[in-house]
Amino acid sequence: MAEIKIAAEARTEFGKGAARRIRREDKVPAVLYGHGSDPVHVTLPGHQLMLALKNSNALLTIDLGSDQHLAIPKQVQRDPLKGFIEHADLLIVRKGEKVTVDVRISTVGDAISGNLVILENASVAIEAEATHIPEAFEVSVEGLDAGDQILAKDIELPQGSSLAVDEDLLIVNVTGAPTEAQLEAELAEAEAEAGIEHDAPESESDDAPAEAEAAAESE
């Protein structure tokens, strides 16, 4: 896992007004904390931080001139509409130190035709060295059939890492794809619970009186 170096500036202004001014300059207010030390308030370049955080569990070297801090993102606040980073909390770590992080999971391969692959948990918590945190885990579902499962203990972890969750945590579940009749039954049940009613289709007998009336008028 490569370290990403980011030049930071010490931050001395606080509050919403100061934060808005920082963001207008395409910068992000951030806090470094950990190891019992006082929080270090910094300002980071917004675009560079955004690119760095595209890497899951990015390992950052925050350069404050005479001081450097190794850190990982702990909490990142983003604008709910525009998506830009509004604030970042960074946890100070040391080389060789172990930390607990969530690692993203993705599936590769194809199960046997006619089955559904359900990713029950999109990430798994592990304990790993701060400088050797994997970006993601890939689990193969190639050739799996209905009833097959992949548990947390089945994931191949990097050397020196261990699970921070129950080893029997369900990660992937393979089930048979529902039939059209099952889907229609589920839809009907959901509509009934929601109180949705459909008009009954008109039958030929329903049309007979109207046809007879029309014929009598023509005579």
Q: Are residues 115 and 70 in the same domain?
A: no
Q: Is residue 62 scored above 80 in pLDDT?
A: yes
Whether residues 84 and 136 share a domain: the answer is no
- 124 has pLDDT over 90: yes
Q: What is the CATH number of the domain that holds 72?
A: 2.40.240.10
- Kindly state whether residues 82 and 100 are assigned to the same domain: no
CB 116 within 8 A of CB 137: no
Per the structure, the count of domains in the chain is 2
Last residue of some domain: 66, 93, 120?
Answer: 93
On whether both 14 and 60 belong to a single domain, the answer is yes
> Do residues 105 and 158 both lie within one domain?
yes
Cα–Cα distance between 160 and 178 in angstroms, integer?
42
Antiparallel, parallel or unpaired: β 115-119 and 3-7: unpaired
Is the domain of 46 the same as that of 75?
yes
Question: Given 37, 65, 93, which residue is the final one in a domain?
Answer: 93
In this structure, the answer to whether residues 67 and 121 fall within a common structural domain is: no
Q: Which domain holds residue 44?
A: 3-93
Lowest mean pLDDT among 119-128, 171-180, 192-201: 192-201
**Higher-pLDDT residue of 100, 214:** 100
> pLDDT tens, 152-182?
999 999 988 999 999 999 999 999 877 777 6
107 shares a domain with 192: yes
Strand partners of residue 11: none
Cα torsion through 40, 63, 130, 169, rounded to 10: 70
Determine the pLDDT at residue 211: 57
Residue 116, domain CATH = 2.170.120.20
Per-residue pLDDT at 66 exceeds 90: no
In a domain, 100, yes or no: yes
For the chain, the average pLDDT equals 85
The residue from 67, 93, 119 where one domain ends is 93
